[in-house]
Amino acid sequence: MDRIQLLQFGMALGLGAAAPIGPVNVEIARRALRHGFAAAVALGCGAVSVDLCYTILSAAGVTRFTHNPWVYWPLTLAGVGLLTLLGISSLRAARSAARQTLVSAGNGPPGNPTGWRPLFRGYVTGVLMTATNPMTVAFWFTVLPALAGTITAQPRCELPIICGGVFIGTIGWVLAFSGIMSLAARLRRPWWLIAADEIGGTMLLGLAGVALFRSLRGPL
């Protein structure tokens, strides 16, 4: 493959990795419905920043380090703990929204965050969610180098081109998905926010359980 084809392959790979339902997409959807486009993109950009850092490390050949139990298990436990915390927070937010709906009949939808601090907190949340996700680590340090090796004779040299395409595909997905969900938020009803928090919280707790179960089998 030439460089253009490698870049296109990376973009397709990035879309394939970003589009499935996972912790980041669940939280992007929940924040877009509750707080709008900027809040969702801030979290998504945090996730993409980690992908970019993992791209650099993967291209540099840092793979055995991530399989070290002293790295793998703290990372896994931190990821499971973060997902559990976010899931519980989402369920509590749903109950709070339900109480507000009963009191105010749903006439006061939550406002969008103002200033840079809420957006920065969302960005940090995206960073932590992605950096501590064992499946993300496995993708960047095991699956992607293996795929690169099957399509190029020089995976170490050409892997950055593929990862650049992955970055473009991933950030494109974040912007598109956040935009769609924020447009849907304009038509929101009070029960939408409750349902989004309930479903999102349940899914985050479920994903925490899946991550813990998969981690028992060790690094991929």
- Tens of pLDDT, residue by residue over 72-107, are 677 677 767 777 887 787 777 767 766 665 444 444
Cβ(119)–Cβ(44) below 8 Å: no
Tell whether 180 is covered by a domain: yes
Token pair belonging to 191: 């029960």
Tell whether 64 is covered by a domain: yes
Tell whether 185 is covered by a domain: yes
Tell whether 182 is covered by a domain: yes
By C-alpha distance, which of 46, 11, 49 is closest to 31? 46
| The total number of structural domains that make up the chain | 1
77-97 b/e with 16+ CB inside 10 Å = b?
A: eebbebbbebbeebbebbeeb
Tell whether 109 is covered by a domain: no
The mean-pLDDT minimum among 19-28, 63-72, 105-114, 146-155 falls in: 105-114
Kindly give, in sequence order, each residue whose CB lies less than 8 Å from that of residue 53, ignoring residues fewer than 6 positions away: none
Tell whether 46 is covered by a domain: yes
Tell whether 220 is covered by a domain: no
Tell whether 171 is covered by a domain: yes
Cβ(14)–Cβ(167) below 8 Å: yes
Tens digits of residue pLDDT in 163-217: 788 889 889 999 999 998 888 877 766 666 677 778 777 877 887 787 777 767 6
Domain that holds residue 18: 3-104+114-215
Q: What is the pLDDT of residue 88?
A: 84
Entry pTM = 0.73
